[in-house]
Amino acid sequence: MSDIKIETEGSKIYVTAPFNREANADYRQLQGRWDAGRRVWTFAGRDIDNVRGALRRHFGRDDRPTELVDVRLRWEDGEVIENDESEVVWGGRVILSRRYRDAAVRLGDNVVKISGGFYERAGSMKYPAIGEARGETVIEVRGVPADHQDIRESDATVVDSGAIDKQALREERARLLARIEEIDKLLSE
């Protein structure tokens, strides 16, 4: 995913990352400044390792390439999703949100609903909430860092992303090479 970037200009670094309240608090602790015109956080270049550490804590990755997986989250019918919260942050980003009590639940970027859903209203006018799952509800969060702590700490299911099974390929290669050797012997007779 390219939603996290670090650019260097002179002695400053400019960080683009998804919105996250807790991460923003950490950026301020690192003397980061929000540049509204460029829509980036600005830091002293010498703080790049600390900034990358904050990014990994909150998003499970920084600006460098990392293995990403798709993950399914499941709730039973009537199960409360993040009690009294108007948004669910999982895998380092907002995956579900409800702006108003009577508004529909919104899915975050790279999040799709597989089954089920959410009730039309939840919470109060002042404090909207995600509420309860309607039916067995399954969502898929795509592009989550494979080593993100939320995967380890929840009942998330990593979706088979078609990853290459290297051991199976090695075994198939050995069988094919053995067969080629047999064919070469038969042809040489």
Confidence label for 168 from pLDDT (cuts 50, 70 and 90)? low
Shared-domain flag, residues 86 and 53 = no
d(Cα 134, Cα 76) in Å, to the nearest integer?
8
Q: What is the pLDDT of residue 1?
A: 45
Contact by Cβ (8 Å): 101, 125: yes
| Residue 133 falls inside a structural domain | yes
* Higher-pLDDT residue of 19, 1: 19
- In this predicted structure, the answer to whether residue 164 has a pLDDT above a threshold of 90 is no
**82-89: average pLDDT:** 86
Confidence label for 114 from pLDDT (cuts 50, 70 and 90)? very high
Each residue of 149-161: pLDDT tens digit?
Answer: 889 888 899 987 5
Considering Cα of 5, then 7, then 13, then 16, what sign does the dihedral take? negative
Confidence label for 37 from pLDDT (cuts 50, 70 and 90)? very high
- Which residue range is the domain that position 151 belongs to? 79-159
* Mean pLDDT of all residues belonging to the chain: 90
* Higher-pLDDT residue of 81, 31: 31
Shared-domain flag, residues 85 and 151 = yes
Got the DSSP string for 40-82?
EEEEEGGGHHHHHHHHHHHHS--SS---EEEEEEEE-TT-EES
- In this predicted structure, the answer to whether residue 98 has a pLDDT above a threshold of 70 is yes
| Residue 176 falls inside a structural domain | no
**7-24: average pLDDT:** 93
Which pTM was predicted? 0.68
| Residue 68 falls inside a structural domain | no
Question: CA geometry: angle at 101 spanning 93 and 22, to 5°?
Answer: 25
* Higher-pLDDT residue of 179, 60: 179
The strand pair at 106-107 and 40-44 is best described as unpaired
Considering Cα of 46, then 48, then 50, then 54, what sign does the dihedral take? positive
| Residue 101 falls inside a structural domain | yes
- In this predicted structure, the answer to whether residue 135 has a pLDDT above a threshold of 90 is yes
| Residue 119 falls inside a structural domain | yes
Q: What is the pLDDT of residue 128?
A: 94
Shared-domain flag, residues 118 and 155 = yes
Task: Please tell me the total count of domains within the chain.
Answer: 2
Got the DSSP string for 80-96?
EESTT-SEEEETTEEEE
